[in-house]
């Protein structure tokens, strides 16, 4: 990573500030303050690249990332390693944390022709949600619709997404209304569904993924007629939902991939 000597004034980190920034690891405080933490050089670079609004940088180095040199109204705090450890959720933090503004909720688009979305029902494991976002980023899925899921600003979600959180839109909208608008565009992943290799998934714009332990728990799943499943030849009871999303995304987008990469 290219660095430059910073001409931005550096501010020492007070005990009060340490306590405040550390409190942003709590969902309740994040929502109250409208701020969240981004940890690590790569993630901070991703946030800068995607024009995420940054409020402050906490760093143990007396050098600032080159990407920050033109940023205005950005507080830079020079920290001790012990201070970063008090704020970080990691056992061995890298030494740079960004304080960023929570994104405004995206309004679900009115024109979704040729779009694809995962609908996530009660996904509670932050690693799984981050993985699903990363899968969407890799396969060009246009976004995720969240229903009673883990907070997208949870530090574990951010890390597992590997920056995809900054590129994949997350929507909070009425799924019942979407089903009524697009009744034939929904399929739900279910152990008792039709094998995906016998289906043309291109005809669906929404695929519902259920809770890690309990599957599809919301009542609106009952009005979705089409169920699909990933066929298995082994003895595993079920697949991790993050893994399942990758297999489904591949099957869902493989025709587009073949067009883009004719040598496949």
Judged on CB neighbours under 10 Å (0-12, 13-18, 19+), 66 is: middle
- For residue 155, what are its two tokens? 């530090």
DSSP for 224-245 reads: ---EEE---SS--S---HHHHH
Partners of residue 229 on adjacent β-strands:
195
Residue pair 117/145 in contact by the 8 Å Cβ criterion: yes
- For residue 159, what are its two tokens? 């890390």
- Please count the residues of the chain: 264
| pLDDT of res. 1 | 46
| pLDDT of res. 67 | 64
202-238: per-residue pLDDT in tens?
Answer: 999 999 999 988 889 999 999 999 999 999 888 777 7
| pLDDT of res. 4 | 45
Q: Please state, in angstroms and as integers, the Cα–Cα distance from residue 134 to each residue in 22, 112, 138, 161, following that order.
A: 26, 21, 6, 5
Tokens 């991939």 correspond to 257
CA 208 to chain centre: 16
| Dihedrals phi, psi of 63, to nearest 5 degrees | -135, 150
Positions of E strands within the chain: 3-4, 10-12, 35-39, 54-59, 64-65, 75-78, 96-101, 117-121, 143-147, 170-171, 186-195, 206-209, 227-229
Using DSSP's 3-state secondary structure scheme, residue 202 falls into helix
53-79: per-residue pLDDT in tens?
Answer: 999 999 887 556 666 665 667 888 888
| pLDDT of res. 6 | 45
Tell me the domains of the chain and their CATH numbers.
Answer: 3-101 (3.30.1330.30), 117-260 (3.40.1280.10)
- For residue 173, what are its two tokens? 């909208």
- For residue 114, what are its two tokens? 């040729």
| pLDDT of res. 70 | 59
Which portions of the chain are predicted below pLDDT 50? 1-6
């Amino acid at each position: 990573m290219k660095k430059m000597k910073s001409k931005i004034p550096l501010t020492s980190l007070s005990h009060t500030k340490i306590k405040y920034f550390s409190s942003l690891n709590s969902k309740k405080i994040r929502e109250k303050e409208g701020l969240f933490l981004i940890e690590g050089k790569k993630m901070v670079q991703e946030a800068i690249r995607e024009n995420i609004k940054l409020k402050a940088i906490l760093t143990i180095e007396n050098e600032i990332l080159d990407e920050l040199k033109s940023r205005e109204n950005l507080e830079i705090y020079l920290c001790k390693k012990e201070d970063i450890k008090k704020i970080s959720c990691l056992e061995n933090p890298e030494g740079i944390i960004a304080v960023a503004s929570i994104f405004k909720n995206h309004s679900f688009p009115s024109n979704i022709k040729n779009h694809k979305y995962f609908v996530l029902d009660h996904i509670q494991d932050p690693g799984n949600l981050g993985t699903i976002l990363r899968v969407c980023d890799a396969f060009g899925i246009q976004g995720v619709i969240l229903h009673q899921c883990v907070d997208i600003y949870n530090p574990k979600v951010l890390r597992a997404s590997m920056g995809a959180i900054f590129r994949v839109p997350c929507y909070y909208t009425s799924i019942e209304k979407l089903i009524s608008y697009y009744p034939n565009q929904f399929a739900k992943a279910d152990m008792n569904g039709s094998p995906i290799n016998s289906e043309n998934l291109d005809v669906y714009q929404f695929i519902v993924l259920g809770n890690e332990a309990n599957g599809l728990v919301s009542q609106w799943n009952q009005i979705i007629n089409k169920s699909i499943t990933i066929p298995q030849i082994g003895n595993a009871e079920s697949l991790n939902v993050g893994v399942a999303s990758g297999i489904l995304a591949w099957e869902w987008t493989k025709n587009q991939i073949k067009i883009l990469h004719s040598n496949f």
